[in-house]
Amino acid sequence: MKTIMKTTFKLLLPFAFLAMAYFFYTKTNALSQPQMDMVKLAPYAIFIIGGVISWKFNRSREFFIISVMALSLAAHIYLPHLRGGLAHRSEIDFLLTLLLPFNIALFSFFRERGILSLWGALRIGAIAVQVLLCYWLLEPAQKDLLHTMGKAWLPVKLNFVTPHLSQASLFLFLAALVILIIRQVTHRSSQDISFIAVLCALFYTLHRTGDPVLYAVSFAASGIILIVSIIQDSYSMAFSDELTGLPSRRALKQDMMKLGMNYAIAMLDIDHFKKFNDTYGHDTGDEVLKLVASTIRDVTGGGKAYRYGGEEFTILFPGKNINEVMPSLEELREKVAKRAFTLRRSGRGKGGKSGRKARGSKNAKQKQIYITISIGVSQKSEKHKKPDDVMKSADTALYRAKKKGRNCVSK
């Protein structure tokens, strides 16, 4: 239930920022002129902060999207005043309706390969090429080409969607949205959710032409959404285990400091895991870790599971004693033992070579194995007053469970 709530919160948070931004926009007519000037300058301050944070955390996708948004807003505001007003705002806005969805979709595909790197230089080069291309398209000699790009290519009237966006712009926004939704379904990243929210904000803004306040509020909100995305992902990387999705050892240490007067701690270990890895390979071992993690995540009795490291897991039971948590731990042990794991690939020996017969065997591909865990549990007492002492006692109990023959709970 907690996992569902956290996931829902992450999905809705960027759109909550958009709702608050729109509410603020509806109230801007009550602001004084100095306040309005601050609102119009706010996006640039947010872009600088976002650029520094993304640079510091090496988040190149957000960095480059923020850079593109900063250039786009500056072009919308200041470019029409340059070169004697030669570049008209409508032409600039048309180019922005093409380049913004294109860049959001483009950078969503790129992996995090750094900013000050060869890959970063190539991406900076791609943005520079687009800037030069736009500058060239805004020349008077290219007016016919620009007009051709904005023509209706399909025999369908889309004015009911938005009268200010061309068919090419609508296609790019729709294509970018579909790409981001597919990526979210396949990768489940808070980054892609943030990119979707930014895309929606920019679509709404660009189809409402001629309102500089809306531009400022929308671009500022988009920058804040990307900054929050960086913070969320950085927190997740620091406090969540990437493989299993459980809270990491760092999160465990922090939560141990919050324990009250009474609590119990359980240490879990997958039986014969090293032998399993040697037999079936580390990739299959990782799948086993995920399977066990998905089971112990739903531990009852008010417990919270963490990945301690390797094949070891920890469960904290705040406000509980050993007698209260033993039924939950026994239930968890039985649940893991009864859950079959299907090998998707044939096994391999210690030498790392898979047998050809086993590889071609249908039965080998469908082989099912069963995993067991051993559990040691301890509680706060006069002998063990600190959480670290209780954890060491639980670890000692875990070794007793191993000596008893494994697949059991010891205290």
Residues designated as active site: 311
Q: Are 376 and 395 in contact (CB under 8 A)?
A: yes
Nearest-5° Cα angle at 140, 137 to 142: 40
Token duo for residue 301: 């009795």
Closest CA to 303 of 289, 313, 315: 315
Q: Give residue limits of the domains in the chain.
A: 2-239, 249-410
Over its length of 411 residues, how does the chain's per-residue pLDDT go in tens digits? Answer: 566 777 788 788 999 999 999 999 999 989 999 999 999 999 999 999 999 999 988 889 999 999 999 999 998 888 777 655 555 778 888 899 999 999 999 998 888 777 888 888 999 999 999 999 988 888 888 888 888 887 777 666 655 556 668 888 889 999 999 999 998 888 777 788 999 999 999 999 988 766 889 999 999 999 999 999 999 888 888 888 888 889 999 999 999 998 888 999 999 999 988 888 888 888 888 888 998 998 998 899 889 999 998 899 999 999 999 999 999 999 999 999 988 887 765 444 444 444 444 444 444 456 788 889 999 999 999 888 899 999 999 999 999 999 989 999 998
The alpha-helical segments, DSSP class H, found in 240-280 are 249-256, 273-280
Report the CATH fold assignment for 2-239: Rhopdopsin 7-helix transmembrane proteins (1.20.1070)
Q: Are 54 and 60 in contact (CB under 8 A)?
A: yes
Sort residue 349 into left (φ over 0), alpha (ψ -120 to 50) or beta. beta
Task: For residues 379 and 267, give the distance between their C-alpha atoms in angstroms, rounded to a whole number.
Answer: 12
* Residues ≥6 apart with Cβ < 8 Å to 91: 137, 138, 146
Instruction: Tell me whether domains 2-239 and 249-410 share a fold.
Output: no
Task: For residues 30 and 161, give the distance between their C-alpha atoms in angstroms, rounded to a whole number.
Answer: 30
Task: For residues 144 and 349, give the distance between their C-alpha atoms in angstroms, rounded to a whole number.
Answer: 68
pTM: 0.76
Structural element, H or E, at residue 326:
helix 322-338
pLDDT at 365: 54
Please name the CATH architecture into which domain 249-410 falls: 2-Layer Sandwich (3.30)
Task: For residues 139 and 298, give the distance between their C-alpha atoms in angstroms, rounded to a whole number.
Answer: 63
